[in-house]
Structure 1
Amino acid sequence: MKLMLLLTFTALAVFDSQKRGAHSCPDLCSCSFQLLGAEVVCSQRSLTHFPLKGLPSNTTRLSIQSSNLSSITASHLRAVPLLNRLQLYHVNLINLTSQLLSAVPHLDTLDLTGNQLAHLPPNIFKHGSLHDLVLKNNQFEKADAAWFPKNSSLTWLDLSGNHITSIPAALLQRLPHLQDLDLSDNNLQELQGDIFKSLHHLETLNLAGNKLSSLRPATFAQNLRLKQLFLQENQLRELPATLLQSLQHLDLLLLNQNQLQQLPAGLLDGRKSSFQIILTGNPWECDEKMEYLWKWLTVHPENVPFLEGVICDSPKTLRHQPVRSLTEGQLGI
């Protein structure tokens, strides 16, 4: 009987300890407790170490922001085996280990925005079932296919705001489930002709803020589900007439702030009624080669936000005049 009472009290003590542990909260952090797990947010500059003490064991979301954490290891993450969302935002990370995610097999989202990462070890993202990965505003000069396993489950990859000069086709071949790819604000100067051919589920592609001067006709030929294409703030001088031919679901195309002088005949044919295109900030040459775009703007003004900002750059006699307002005589047609 005494043994039974002892075992009962021991079990109750363990249960009580676990319960209190699940509802504790680390210093310099705030915690919210829900039925399916705890959410922990740590955003104090004075935080210099991973907040192990008091970290709820049932934490499913952990966000460490604007601190001086500087390092994190797999042993830290073993304290939160149920984690499905991890944000390490502006915490001065420089290096990560290849086994970092091995202790969090349920991790769905990893956000490493605003750190000092320039290199990552091979196979770092082979663990768990990552769907969303954000590597925005780091120091990467290249992206390595070896980071990912073959047939990765990733659906969203954000590599924006780095110093990447090229994207290897081998990397994207390992990410066949991607729906959203952000490569904006890098140093891309050229894209391989078939770079995106394995991305059959791609819906949003952001290439804005790079140094692209041209695109091959078949660049997006295999991306049949593409809905949003961001090409603004590049150095595009011309576009192939068949560039958008396969993109029957395209809803939004941004071409503003490039070096386009005209659009080739047929480029915008067959667009959906909901299609929107932004064309401002280009040096449009208003001569007979402008006929196609002029007619398209006249027929589809509702598809062009900031229509009055689509203005001639040359000849001098027409400079600053809205393209839509031109006459056949002015265009010489």
Structure 2
Amino acid sequence: MNCWILFIFTTLAECLTIKRAAHSCPELCSCSFSTLGAEVECSQESLRHFSVDGLTSNTTRLSILSTNLSSITAHHLSAVPLLKSLQLYHTNLTSLPADLLKDVPHLNSLDLTGNRLLHLPPNVFNHYTLRSLVLKNNLIEEADAEWFSDNSSLTWLDLSGNLLSGISTTLLHKLPNLENLDLSDNYLQDLQPDVLTNLHQLESLNLAGNKLISLKSNTFIHNLKLSQLFLQENRLQELHATLLKGLHHLELLLLNQNQLQNLPQGLLDEKKSSFRVILTGNPWVCDDKIEYLWKWLTAHPQNVFFLEGVTCAGPGALKQQPVFSLSDTDGLSWVKN
């Protein structure tokens, strides 16, 4: 009988130890636990060196936010082999080891927003399960094709808020599964003719906040699934009439804050009823060349956000007048009430 009692107490003690270990949490972090695994968040500014002590092996989400972490290694991540999401947000990372992800075979989301990353080693994102990669607000001057393997599984890539002056065709040809590409708030001045040709699955493209002056007529000819296109806050002076040809799924187009004076005949034709566009902040010249835009606005007012903000920059007598409100009394012969 005593043996059985000893056995029961020993078993209970072992179970309690296992349970405590399963629910342990690293210092300076908070943890939540469920049957699906643990989620760990570390957001203390005093965190400078990450410790795996207390990190449970069934952790599926690890977030290190607004700390003074200076480095993270593959050894750290080897303690969490079931990790699916890793967020290293606003830390002080300046580099990453090439083998960082080698021991997290289930990782599908990596967010490195707000660090000081400049140069990254080859193959650092050569990880077949990775679907989402965010490199927003770093110091990256060149996105290197060598970061990725051929036919990467990546569907979401965010390179916004960096120092990119160009984007290579070789890089994007390695990412044929991309559905969302964000290159906003960089220094892009033009796009190579074939840079987007391999992105047949692309649904959202953000080029806002760059220095684009023009786009070639066939820029989006291979991106027929595009539903969102962000071109605002560039320096676009004119658009080709066929720029949006074939984009039958396009639902949102932002052209605000550019240098457009008119739109070419047919640019916005054949768009679906759910299509929406923003056109404010352009110096629209209300002469004979504005006819197409005027006709489209008067026929599709429900498709335009901030319709009354689409105003004439000239001639002088028409300055600040909403384009859709032009009439034959304004001296435009093609306007009929």
CA contact (8 A) 1:131 1:154 kept: yes
Cα deviations across residues 183-242 of structure 1 (Å, max 9, x unaligned)? Answer: 000000000112111001100000000000000001000101000000000000000000
| Conserved 8 A contact 2:128-2:153 | no
1:185 paired residue number: 185
In structure 2, list runs of 5 or more residues that go unmatched. none
Query: What amino acid is aligned across from residue 145 of structure 2 in structure 1?
Result: A
* 1:165-190 deviations in Å (ceiling 9; x for gaps): 00000101110000000000000000
Aligned to 1:108: 108
Q: Which amino acid aligns with 1:140?
A: I
Match of 2:35 in 1: 35
Tell me, what secondary structure is at the counterpart of 2:313? Answer: strand
Structure 1 unmatched ranges of 5 or more: none
Determine the structure 2 residue equivalent to 1:257. Answer: 257
Name the residue aligned to 1:21.
21
Q: Is the 8 A contact 1:142 1:167 kept in 2?
A: yes
The residue that corresponds to 2:314 in the other structure is 314
What is the TM-score normalised by the length of structure 1? Answer: 0.96
Secondary structure of the residue aligned to 1:63 is strand
Name the aligned partner's letter for residue 331 of structure 1.
L
Distance 1:11 1:194, change over 3 A: farther
Q: Is the 8 A contact 2:132 2:155 kept in 1?
A: yes
> Are 1:21 and 1:57, in contact at CA under 8 Å, matched by a contact in 2?
no
Native 8 Å contact 1:106 1:128 kept in 2:
no
Partner of 1:167: 167
Cα gap change, 1:18/1:98 in structure 2, threshold over 3 Å: closer, same or farther?
Answer: farther
Deviation (angstroms), 1:279: 0.1
Q: Which whole-Å CA distance do the structure 2 matches of 1:248 and 1:152 have between them?
A: 27
Distance 1:311 1:127 in 2: 49
- Is residue 101–residue 128 contact of structure 1 (8 Å, CA) maintained in 2? no
Which residue identity is paired with 1:211?
Answer: K
Render the CA deviation track for 1:256-311: whole Å, top value 9, x for unaligned. 00000000000001010110000000000100000000000000000001000000
RMSD: 2.0
CA change 1:138–1:7 in 2 (3 A) is: farther
- Render the CA deviation track for 1:71-111: whole Å, top value 9, x for unaligned: 00000001111000000000110010110000101001000
Q: How does 1:317-328 map to 2 (within 5 A)?
A: 317-328=317-328
1:92 — aligned with what? 92
Preserved CA contact (<8 Å) 1:263 1:293: yes
Give SS of 1:167's match.
coil
Structure 1 counterpart SS, 2:305: coil
Q: Which moved more, 1:16-25 or 1:127-136?
A: 16-25
8 Å CA contact 1:104–1:128 kept in 2: the answer is no
Q: Distance in 1 between matches of 2:81 and 2:6?
A: 31
- Aligned residue identity for 1:99: D
CA distance in 1, matches of 2:10, 2:237: 76
| 1:69 alignment counterpart | 69
- Give CA deviations for 1:14-50 in whole Å, capped at 9, x if unaligned: 6654432221011111110011100001111011111
Q: What SS class does the counterpart of residue 87 from structure 1 fall into?
A: strand
The residue that corresponds to 2:242 in the other structure is 242
- Count of aligned residue pairs for this structure pair: 332
Residues 128, 152 of structure 2: 8 Å contact kept: no
Matched letter for residue 257 of structure 1: Q
2:315 aligned partner, one-letter code: P
